Structure 1
Amino acid sequence: MTNIKNIKDVAKHANVSIATVSRVVNNLGGYSPATKEKVLKAIEELEYQPNALARGLISKRTETIAVLFPEVSSMFSSKILKGVEETVHQRGSSVIVCNTSADGEKTLKYLKVLQEKRIEGIIFVSEMITEEYYKVISSMKIPVVLVSTESYQYSIPYVKVNDRHAAFSATDYLIKKGHKKIGMISGNPKDIIAGQPRMDGFLDALRLHGLNENEKNIVCRDNFLFADGYQALPQLLEKAPDLTAIFVASDEMACGAISAATEKGINVPDQLSVIGYDNLPLAEMTIPPLTTVSQPLEEMGEKAATMLFKMLETGESVESRIMPHTIIERKSVK
């Protein structure tokens, strides 16, 4: 059949009203089994494809959620997105992905566009919720779940690991391997989500084992990227040349640090042990393969989507979830 059929054609073919066809298509009830069978038969015979936008106008549902990432192309984001998408598609819904570039104006613009598109829920990844963001989100009156971030100011459910505890575990692991002169390449201490907590965990472990908590053993960077680790390692070794091990606050930074060490003729792990954070696929590709703290990123995405759907179904908030972290041993720590 070459002619594209619409809902009026289906109603005429089944000898029912357009409203009845709409109710059957959207599974809203209010019709007999015989009527449903007639409508479904007409849909099959006419090869009718219900229009998603039309369904949304009738049901007042778009069956679409949005995921906002500060850097959508990163391995970190792709692992979370995989978990989100699998769960969302199992529920028969769709995902819109927004790359905010951690830019406040761009994030606000995206939120306003999503509001116009009547998005049903938002998963907000790895970025702090500002007052401006919260005002827009509140006005949308839709569920929101945070991933790899949390808000101390606003009551929004989240899924994340305990960053302070995970950083403690990484540093404690180095100490138990016999290292006493340990440094850190950190994110920005003004970042209260992943920057300062990971520094605090590092210092907690040193303190517990009675080791010197010297701030010269920490170099901070604004981001968690390869270039940050590459540039930070020489700075750290200039300040503390006797270090035997370093904890690096992301796998990408750790890869940068290993690259800089190699250029300086420093053997990892024989002369300098390195532990990262995240357990991205990249960690298995380095030479040597990177020992790291694993965040269950796919599971975090799945859990966030599941929580979002529960909020959509019940209209009630859900409890936040702290996910487990583990040490993945490879070859970068002696």
Structure 2
Amino acid sequence: MQKKSSATIYDVANRVGVSLATVSRVVNGNSNVRESTKRKVLDAIEELGYHPNAVARGLASKKTTTIGVVMPDVTDMYYSELARGIDDVANMYHYDVLLTNTDEDPVRETMAVNNLASKQVDGIIFMGNELDREVLNTIAGADAPVVLAGSIDAEGQLPSVNIDYVKAVEEAVDTMVKNKHKRIALVTGPMTHAINKLHRLVGYQTALEKADIVFDDKLLFVAHQDYAAGLQIAEKILAAEADGVIAYDDEVALGIMNYMREHGKRIPEDFEIITSNDTKFTIVTRPELTSIGQPKYDIGAVAMRMLTKLMNNEIIDDTQVKLPHTLERRGTTIN
């Protein structure tokens, strides 16, 4: 029998001679249908080529089996690895994923959360370095649970999955101190972002204090998250007579390294570099970049698993999850 190209739930109901409600119960897995009737409905669905619409199913089940992901930059390797972990676990639990790119623009982030909520997604995962007040208010008004992946809100109110950024930066600085460096620069994103001011900077200052090194704000730099910004900020780092740098982004670290080498600095003998995201960029360069190792896939996967529990109203013992990090020692540090 030839399948209809656009069969509807009405066609299935007419074929079997049952109500729309019965077809809906079968589609949504409701057990309150006789086995013989269920078999007939499923056979009709197969014969007619009926594909239930997720939104239509949602009207009956209160669920769309769809989650939204707000992503700052789909081309960034760090976020794409997080997204892969999210997508794999979403598929495991039979959720579709709607991905939105925001270029880390608060206006677009607010629009993205609103748009996803209007599509009646069952939950949202938010990635990005900052949540401004408008974004937080929009999230609070969304009729769906939200989990942060690799993101931090200053108050720590939203469920999140991260590493301990304070400890990670502290350990990176400790490594350079042990290698006899005393003028260690820190490159972050804007200090208005909680992840930078309340975490990376705190780890940096804690390590300096332990080593009896006086904090010098002339060694604190803010750079955009790309290679060109690394090249630009490197000139200022060189002028500040720094002998090492902790960078918050791999592309930024690459720009700094290439600039230093072009200006006569030997890496790592004269100048050490530790980056933070441990993407593929760190191993395709020469020398390879020492990096804070983040379990990026796991951050995404654990965030998605937490979201499934929230969507099912399950009790979660810990909504502020910190996964273990490492320090991947490579060619831009002496040891």
Letter in 1 for 2:332: S
Q: Mapping of 1:171-210 within 5 angstroms?
A: 171-210=173-212
Separation (CA, whole Å) in 2 of partners of 1:168 and 1:281: 23
Question: Does residue 238 in structure 1 map to residue 269 in structure 2?
Answer: no
Match of 1:48 among 43, 47, 50: 50
Matching residue within 103, 106, 110 for 2:105: 103
Give how far 1:256 is off: 0.9
Moved more, 293-302 or 31-40: 31-40
Distance 2:104 2:319 in 1: 26
Give the superposed CA RMSD.
2.0
Note if contact 1:188-1:220 (Cα within 8 Å) is conserved in structure 2: no
Q: Helix, strand or coil for the counterpart of 1:129?
A: coil
- In structure 2, how many angstroms separate the alpha carbons of the residues matched to 1:205 and 1:154? 24
1:18-97 alignment runs, 5 A limit = 18-97=20-99
Matched, 1:11 2:10: no
Matched, 1:163 2:162: no
Q: Which moved more, 1:182-191 or 1:168-177?
A: 182-191
Which region of structure 1 is more displaced relative to structure 2, 179-188 or 203-212? 179-188
**SS of residue matched to 1:185:** strand
Q: Secondary structure at the match of 1:198?
A: helix
The answer (yes or no) to whether the contact 1:247–1:274 under 8 Å persists in 2 is yes
Q: How far has the Cα of 1:247 moved from its partner? A: 1.8
Measure, in 1, the Cα distance between the counterparts of 2:95 and 2:30: 17
Residue 84 (structure 1) shift: 0.6
Report the Cα distance in structure 2 between the residues aligned to 1:188 and 1:6, rounded to whole angstroms: 52
- Matched position secondary structure for 1:188: coil
Deviation track 1:43-63 (CA, whole Å, cap 9, x = no partner) reads 223333223333233333221
- Alignment check: 8 A CA contact 1:6 1:48 kept: yes
Q: Distance in 1 between matches of 2:211 and 2:220?
A: 21
User: After alignment, is 59-68 or 297-306 more displaced?
Assistant: 59-68
Call closer, same or farther: CA 1:130–1:245 in 2, change over 3 Å: closer
Shift of 1:316: 5.4
Amino acid at match of 1:79: E
Could you tell me which residue of structure 2 aligns to residue 313 of structure 1? 312
Question: Is the contact made by 2:208 and 2:214 (CA closer than 8 Å) also made in structure 1?
Answer: yes
**Residue 219 of structure 1 corresponds to which residue in structure 2?**
220
CA deviations over 1:196-232 (Å, ceiling 9, x no partner): 521221221121122343333x131142322222112
CA displacement 1:89-143 (0-9 Å, x = unmatched): 1111111111122222222222222222112111111243333223322332210
Distance change (3 Å), C-alpha of 1:26 and 1:76: same
For the residues of structure 2 that align with 1:221 and 1:298, how far apart are their CA atoms? 27
- Structure 1 gap segments, 5+ residues each: none
Instruction: Determine if contact 1:219/1:235 at 8 Å carries over to the other structure.
Output: no
Contact 1:247–1:276 (CA under 8 A) maintained in structure 2:
yes
- For 2:224 and 2:30, locate their aligned partners in 1 and report how far apart those are by CA, in whole Å: 49
> What per-residue deviation string (whole Å, max 9, x for no partner) do you get for residues 164-200 of structure 1?
1110011112223343443333332222213552122
Q: Which amino acid aligns with 1:21?
A: V
Q: Which residue identity is paired with 1:98?
A: T
In structure 2, the gaps of 5 or more residues are: none
Query: 1:100, 1:181 → 2: CA distance?
Result: 36
Amino acid in the other structure paired with 1:269: P
CA shift, 1:74, in A, is: 0.9
Shift of the 17–39 alpha-carbon distance from structure 1 to 2, 3 Å rule, reads same
Aligned residue type for 1:147: A
**Aligned residue in 1 for 2:323:** 323
Amino acid at match of 1:234: E
**Larger displacement relative to structure 2 (251-260 or 13-22):** 13-22
Residue 9 of structure 1, CA deviation: 2.4
- Counterpart CA distance in 1 for 2:93 and 2:195 is 31
Runs (4 or more) in structure 1 with deviation over 6 Å come to none
Shift of 1:80: 0.8
Give the aligned residue type for 2:329. E
SS at match of 2:194: coil
Structure 2 distance, partners of 1:301, 1:264, is: 39
Q: 136-145 or 287-296: which moved more?
A: 136-145
- After TM superposition, give the deviation of residue 276 of structure 1 in Å: 0.8
Cα separation, 2, equivalents of 1:7 and 1:278: 49
Residue aligning to 1:260: 259
Aligned-partner Cα distance in 2 for 1:316–1:230: 48
**Residues 1:152 and 1:144: Cα distance change in structure 2 (over 3 Å):** same
CA distance, structure 2, for counterparts of residue 230 and residue 120 of structure 1: 42
Equivalent residue letter for 1:100: T
